[in-house]
Structure 1
Amino acid sequence: MTESSRQTERANRLLLAALRAPETLPDWSLEDWDLLLRVARRTRLIGRLEAQLAALDRLDAIPERAANHLRSARNLVQHRHTLLTWELNRILWATEGLEVPIIALKGVAYVLAELPAARGRFFADLDLLVPHADIPTIETRLLERGWMRLPINPYDDRYYRVWMHEIPPLRHRERENEIDIHHRLLPRTSRLSFDPAPLFEHTRPVADSRARVLAPHDMVLHALVHLFLEGDPQEGLRLRDLVDVADLLDHFGREPGFWEGLAPRAEAFGLGRPLYYGVRFAQRLLECEIPQPVIEASEHWAPIRPLRVLMDHLVPLAILPGHPDHPLRRAALARWLLYVRAHWLRMPPWLLVRHIVYKAWLRVRGVPKRVELTPQDLKRL
C-alpha cells in the first residue's frame, strides 16, 4: 500500500468513526483532531460534529482548539439557518394571496420540520417545489417584489426551462440569498423522471408556516435522488447527503408503517435503484440500522453483478473525502465516472451529445449564441 493510500484510509476511517461514534471523540489525540477537522470541513460536516458532541454534552471534553473550531462552525450553521428561513418567510409574504402550494425542500425543510437531519446542517441556498403550471405566476410575483434573475446566457436559460426540473436561480437584490424553484425532483429528460403530482398530494404541514414539506417516503427518495443523480466532477458524491439519508431513515423509521411503505413508494416513482444504493451504503458506511425485509426488498433493484461490484468500488472512493494532502488519482477517476453516470441518467444520449457539443462550441466562440424560447419549446418533453 502506498503512502497516499495509507493516509487516505486513515482520513476516511477517522471521519466515519466520528460520525458513527461521537462519544469516543474526547479520547482522540490532537493529531487525529487536526486531520478530522480538515476532512470534516471539506465535506461540510464540521457543524454536524459539533451538534453530535453538544447533544452528548461533551464539547468541553475535547481539546479547546478543536472545540473552538466546532463552535465557529455552529455559529455559521445557525446564521445560514436564520438567513434562509427568513428568506422563505419573505417569499411566503411576497406570494400571499396566490393559491399556490409551496413545498420546502432539503435543508430548509429539515429545519422547518425540526428533523434530526437539520442538526449542524449547512445549506447554501433555498430550494422550493411548486407545481409546473404555477411557475410563471410565482416567478413574476417574486421579480416584482425584489428578487432578480442571475446573469445567464440565453442557451442556458433555455436549457433550464425546457429540459431541467427547475427554473434558473433567483436572488434577492438586497439580501443576496439564492433560491432554486423546482417543479419536479428530476429533469424532464431524465430516464428516472416521473409525474410529480403525487408529491403534492401527500405533503405535510409545518407549524407556524404556510409552507409544507414532503411526506416522509418522498423526503427520503428526494435525498437519494440528490445523492446519486447529482454527481459533481470535483466533489464527487456528497457524504453529507448520505448522512441526511441515514438521519431520515432513522427518524421516520420510528413512525408506524414507514418501513413497509418505503419500497412500494420507490417502485411507484421508478426510484428503486437509488433506494437500493441508499440502503446499501447507508448501512455499509454509516452503520444505519435498516430492517432486513427492507434490505431484501431493495435488492430487487440491484444491478447485475459486474455493475454491483463496480459501484461497490466507486461509491466509497467518490463519497469519502480522502486525505487533503494525499489525493488519489483513482478517487478522482471515481468521481468523474459517477459524474458521467449522473449525466447519462439525466439526458438521453442524443441530447447529451448535442448539449456537450454546443456548450463546447460556445466556449470556443467566447460569446453566447442567442436562442429564443418559443411556446412550442415549453410544450416539448
Structure 2
Amino acid sequence: MQRDALQHPDLLAQVLTGRCAPPASDAGWLVLLSQARRANLAARLASHLDAAGIAVPPQARWQLDGAVKAQRHVARLMDLELRRVAQALRGDGVEFVLLKGAAYQAAGLPAASARQFGDIDLLVRRADLAAAEAALMGGGWVNLDASAYDQRYYREWMHEIPPLTHIGRGSVIDLHHTIVPPTSVFRVDGGALLANALPVAGRPGLQVLQPEDMVLHSMVHLFTDGEFDNGLRDLLDLWDLVRHFSARDAGFWDRLLVRAGQLGLERPLHHALQHLERLAGPTMPERLRPQVRRLQPPLPVRGMMQWLLGVGLRPQHPACRQTGDGLARWLLYVRSHWLRMPLRLLLPHLLRKAWVQRFPAKASPQAPAA
C-alpha cells in the first residue's frame, strides 16, 4: 500500500468493510492498529482479518489477540449484568426493553460480535420511570450526580434520567423513557416502541425493539449526537443490522421506510444510508432508491451534512485528520444541541456549562437550578 493510501482518512473503514486490503508495510499496520484502538474497533479488526484469512504480522498479532480477549471478557460481564438487571426489575413488575449494545448482545445479533460494550441502556414507559429507578436502586445502582441543575436538566428536558452507577461493580445504566429528548426536533413516543417490543428467546424478562425500530434508534442516536468518539463503530453496527435483518426478511426495507415515516425519522435514515453506501457500498434494494432520494434535504444542506458527517465518522486519529476537521467537529457539536433543545432552553444551558467549565470551584453541586 502506498504512502498516500496510508493517509486515506477512511483507511480503517475501507479495511473493515472489505473494500481494500490491509497495508503491507510495518508502518501501515501501525497506523491501522492505532486507528482501530482509537475507534474501539481493535477486536472487530481482528475478527475481520481472521474471517478473511488475512495473514497478520507477529508484532500486530499479540495486540489483536489482546483486544479479542478483553472484548470477550467484557461480553461475559455484560451477560451477567443483564441477568442482574432483569432480576431487579422483574421483582417490581417493571416492563423494560434493552437498547443498543445490550440488545445486540442479548439477542445474539451479529452486531454484538467483537463489539466493545459500555453502558447498559434500558427503555421503560414514562409512567414506570420512578418505579424502575427505585427497583434499580434496590439492586445497587445509584445516582451519583448531586447537582440540582443536572437533575432538573435530565428529568425535565431529556429522554433519560441521570446515569445510575452500581456501588459495587461500577456498571452504568442509562434509563430512558424514549429515544430522543422530548424537546428535540425529532419527537418519538417511547410507548409506541414498547408496544412492538419482542421477547428474547431463552432470556426471561428481556425484550428488544422490533428490527425496524432497533435500526432507526441506532440511526437517530448516531446522527443526532454531538460526540462521535464511537461514530465509526456505531455505523458498522448499522451495517451489521441491516444486512442481518434484510437477509432474513425480504420485506425489511419496505417496513423500515414506512416506520421511519411513522416516527418522523426520515432525515436520520437518509444520512445513515448515504454514509453506509459511501463506506461499505450499496446496501438497500435498487427499486427503493427513488423513494430514499425523496428523503434528502435541500442541496446546500445535503452537501454540508455530507462533509460534517464524513469527518465525524472517522477515528479521531492523526492519520485521519484533514483541513477543517476541527471546525467540522465543533459544528456537529453545536448541531446536536440545536436538534436537542429550542433556543429558549439551549442558550441558558450552554451559558451555564461554559460558566461551570471556566469556574468549577464556584459551581456548587447543591446550587438550586437556574
TM-score for both structures, normalised by structure 1: 0.89
**Aligned with residue 247 of structure 1, among 237, 240, 246:** 240
Deviation for aligned residue 1:17: 2.5
Aligned to 1:38: 34
1:141 is displaced (CA, Å) by 1.6
Separation (CA, whole Å) in 2 of partners of 1:309 and 1:326: 20
**1:121 corresponds to which of 109, 115, 120:** 115
User: Greater CA deviation, 312-321 or 343-352?
Assistant: 312-321
Whichever residue aligns with residue 269 of structure 2, its letter is L
Q: 2:45 is matched with which residue: 36, 43, 49?
A: 49
1:149 lines up with 2:149 in the alignment: no
Aligned residue type for 1:94: A
Match of 1:140 in 2: 134
| Equivalent in the alignment of 1:178 | 172
- Give the whole-Å Cα distance in 1 for the aligned partners of 2:102 and 2:94: 19
Q: CA deviation at 1:161?
A: 0.5
Do the aligned partners of 2:215 and 2:242 also contact (CA within 8 Å) in 1? yes
Structure 1 position 223 matched with structure 2 position 232: no
Q: 1:311-366: per-residue Cα shift (whole Å, max 9, x none)?
A: 12222122112642674451111111111111100001111012112333445433
Q: Which residue number in structure 2 is paired with residue 360 of structure 1? A: 354
| Preserved CA contact (<8 Å) 2:39 2:229 | no
Q: 2:14 aligns with which of 14, 17, 42?
A: 17
Amino acid aligned to 1:221: L
Paired positions, count: 363
Which of 92, 95, 102 in structure 1 is aligned with 2:89?
Answer: 95
Contact 2:161 2:176 in 1 (8 A): yes
Alignment of 1:260-275 (within 5 A): 260-275=254-269
For the structure 1 residues 100 and 325, does the alpha-carbon distance in structure 2 shift closer, same or farther, using more than 3 Å as the test? Answer: same
Between the aligned partners of 2:318 and 2:253, the Cα distance in structure 1 is 38
1:278 corresponds to which of 264, 272, 275: 272
Q: Pick from 164, 169, 191 the counterpart of residue 163 of structure 2.
A: 169
Inter-partner Cα distance in structure 1 for 2:320 and 2:85 = 44
Alpha-carbon spacing, 1:8–1:127, altered in 2? closer, same or farther (3 Å) = farther
Over 3 Å counting, the alpha-carbon distance change for 1:108 and 1:322 in structure 2 is closer
Quick check: 2:147–2:365 contact (8 Å CA) kept in 1? Answer: yes
Distance 1:128 1:352 in 2: 26
CA distance in 1, matches of 2:99, 2:207: 9
Measured at CA, do residues 8 and 186 of structure 1 come closer, stay the same or move farther in structure 2, by a change above 3 Å? farther
Rounded Cα–Cα distance in structure 2 between residues aligned with 1:294 and 1:344:
31
- Shift of the alpha carbon at 1:230? 1.0
Is contact 1:362-1:369 (8 Å) kept?
no
3-state SS of 2:152 partner = helix
Q: Residue 307 of structure 1 aligns to which amino acid in structure 2?
A: V
Aligned partners of 1:123, 1:145: CA distance in 2, in Å?
A: 21
**CA distance, structure 1, for counterparts of residue 199 and residue 282 of structure 2:** 27
Q: 1:321 to 1:32 in 2, by over 3 A?
A: same
Q: Any stretches of 5+ residues in structure 2 without a counterpart? A: none
Q: Is the 8 A contact 2:44 2:114 kept in 1?
A: yes
CA positional deviation for 1:231: 1.4
Q: For 1:309, which of 299, 303, 307 is the aligned residue?
A: 303
Q: Which runs of 5 or more structure 1 residues have no equivalent in the other structure?
A: 1-5, 374-381
In the alignment, is the contact (CA less than 8 A) between 2:145 and 2:151 conserved in 1?
no
* TM-score after normalising by structure 2: 0.92
The equivalent residue for 1:199 is: 193
Deviation string for 1:167-225 (max 9, x for gaps)?
A: 11111111111111111000111010121222111111112211111111001101101
Q: CA deviation at 1:31?
A: 1.9
| Equivalent-residue separation in structure 2 for 1:133 and 1:339 (angstroms) | 31
DSSP-derived class of the 1:128 partner: strand
SS at match of 1:44: coil
Root-mean-square deviation over aligned CA pairs: 2.2
Identity %: 40
Matched residue, 1:238: 231
> Does structure 1 residue 371 correspond to structure 2 residue 364?
no
Alpha-carbon contact 2:38-2:316 (below 8 Å) kept = no
Taking a change above 3 Å as real, the CA distance of residues 261 and 165 of structure 1, as seen in their structure-2 partners, is: same
- Equivalent residue letter for 1:218: D
User: One-letter code of the match for 2:206?
Assistant: A
Kindly state the Cα deviation for residue 114 of structure 1 after the two structures are TM-superposed.
Answer: 1.2
Matches within 5 A, 1:329-348: 329-348=323-342
- Give the CA deviation at 1:369: 5.8
Q: What's the secondary structure of 1:301's corresponding residue?
A: coil
| 1:108 is the counterpart of 2:102 | yes
> Residue 257 of structure 1 aligns to which amino acid in structure 2?
G
